[in-house]
Amino acid sequence: MQKRILVPLDGSALADRIVRQVERLLVRKDHEVVLLGVVEPEADLAARDERLRDARDHLEGIRDALVERGAVASVRVVVGDPVEEVVAQAERLQPELVAMATHGRSGLSRFVRGSVTEQVIRACPAPVLVANPRALDAMGGELRFERILVPLDGSELSLGILPLVEEFARLYESEVVLMRVEWTVPVAAAPYPAEVATLRPPKEVEASLEPARRRLEQAGVRARALAAYGPEALEILEAAERERVDLVAMSTHGRRGLSRWVFGSVAEQVLRHCTRPLLVRRVHQGQEGGRDAAAPAPARAQG
């Protein structure tokens, strides 16, 4: 079966920026880039048909440019709800990766903001690489994977991202920073000051990450542990800056949503404000980071 990377585009210049990253880092000869456009239904059929033609013309121009540079690429334009169609195409095509830029101003841009973003990520059967304008700008327009931040919440399901992280890290010779965030109890909020002292010390928090760190190192991946204390989203965002990572990778817990500390407002904060791209993978019960849960290897980079 032809291996694929699915790239939803809404016609905006911002959304198109992800294509260059896909071409630069993820395309190899045995991978096809599928450019997807979604036109929402409307009563005026003539207007709808015109939008379909415009979307196809735009995507075919991008496809032709990719083909000229040696990539294998195709175009799909469909009518329907953007969220439903992206998920349906991912289920139908079974891509190894879905790559998209967030915070466009039209069309598909609505499904990469706020709660709709979470709907797509929760339902998408393939790993999703998401980059917002801050991420693209901070990386100088070029995505790299030299250092990957992997927040884990202590659950088995959160480990489901590790096989994919391992594949990326081995391919790009990345260093992996495993992170565990612990809540702190302000002294003023504690009934007794002694309750503050019962927080786990950094060494103990880091020790909880040791099995995951050893697993990665046994696979030939450089890895280290990091403990943090405070609001989860804020700590993830600050760690991404402080550690100068190139990617933040996390798993979701199937259709029930993200794990407890990256669901709802926390997920939105990370998705909207992180100045690094995110790699998100949906994991079902029974896929907890085992080898059977591993997604196929990401495509190789081209220079």
**What's the pLDDT band for 28 if we cut at 50, 70, 90?**
low
* Fold observed for domain 3-133: Rossmann fold (3.40.50)
Joined together, the tokens standing for residue 223 give 């890895």
Confidence check: pLDDT of 293 > 60: no
Beta bridge partners of 278: 130, 248
From residue 272, alpha-carbon distances to 103, 130, 234, 237, 240 in Å are: 8, 10, 12, 10, 14
Sheet strands (E) in the chain: 3-8, 31-39, 72-79, 97-101, 128-131, 147-152, 175-182, 222-229, 247-252, 278-282
Confidence check: pLDDT of 48 > 80: yes
Q: What pTM was computed for the model?
A: 0.81
Cβ atoms of 283 and 255 within 8 Å: the answer is no
Q: How much is the CA Rg of the chain, to the nearest whole Å? A: 20
The pLDDT of 267-279, averaged and rounded, is 79
The pLDDT of 82-91, averaged and rounded, is 93
Please report the pLDDT score of residue 140 as a whole number: 62
Apex CA 138: angle with CA 132 and CA 139, to 5°? 95
**What's the pLDDT band for 233 if we cut at 50, 70, 90?**
confident
Between 95 and 112, residue with greater pLDDT: 95
Q: What is the CATH number of domain 147-293?
A: 3.40.50.620
Confidence check: pLDDT of 214 > 90: yes
Please report the pLDDT score of residue 209 as a whole number: 96
- Computed over every residue of the chain, the mean pLDDT equals 79
**What's the pLDDT band for 6 if we cut at 50, 70, 90?**
very high
Confidence check: pLDDT of 114 > 70: no
Whole-angstrom Cα distance, residue 92 to residue 82?
Answer: 15
Most confident residue range from 120-134, 219-233, 270-284, 285-299? 219-233
Domain boundaries, the chain: 3-133, 147-293
The pLDDT of 263-283, averaged and rounded, is 74
Cβ atoms of 11 and 19 within 8 Å: the answer is no
Confidence check: pLDDT of 220 > 60: yes
Task: Please tell me the least confidently modeled range out of 61-75, 127-141, 154-168.
Answer: 127-141
Task: Please tell me the least confidently modeled range out of 38-52, 203-217, 244-258.
Answer: 244-258
The pLDDT of 37-60, averaged and rounded, is 93
**What's the pLDDT band for 283 if we cut at 50, 70, 90?**
confident
In CATH terms, are 3-133 and 147-293 the same topology?
Answer: yes
Please choose, from the candidates 17, 22, 24, the residue with its C-alpha nearest in 3D space to the C-alpha of residue 5: 22
Most confident residue range from 88-92, 144-148, 247-251? 88-92
Whole-angstrom Cα distance, residue 233 to residue 166?
Answer: 23
Please choose, from the candidates 151, 148, 130, the residue with its C-alpha nearest in 3D space to the C-alpha of residue 245: 148
Whole-angstrom Cα distance, residue 11 to residue 219?
Answer: 41
SS3 277: coil
The pLDDT of 127-149, averaged and rounded, is 79
Let me know if 175 is exposed, middle or buried by CB neighbors in 10 A (0-12, 13-18, 19+).
middle
Please report the pLDDT score of residue 18 as a whole number: 86
The pLDDT of 123-139, averaged and rounded, is 82
> Which residues fall within 8 angstroms of residue 247, CB to CB, at 6 or more apart?
143, 145, 147, 148, 149, 168, 174, 276, 277, 278, 279
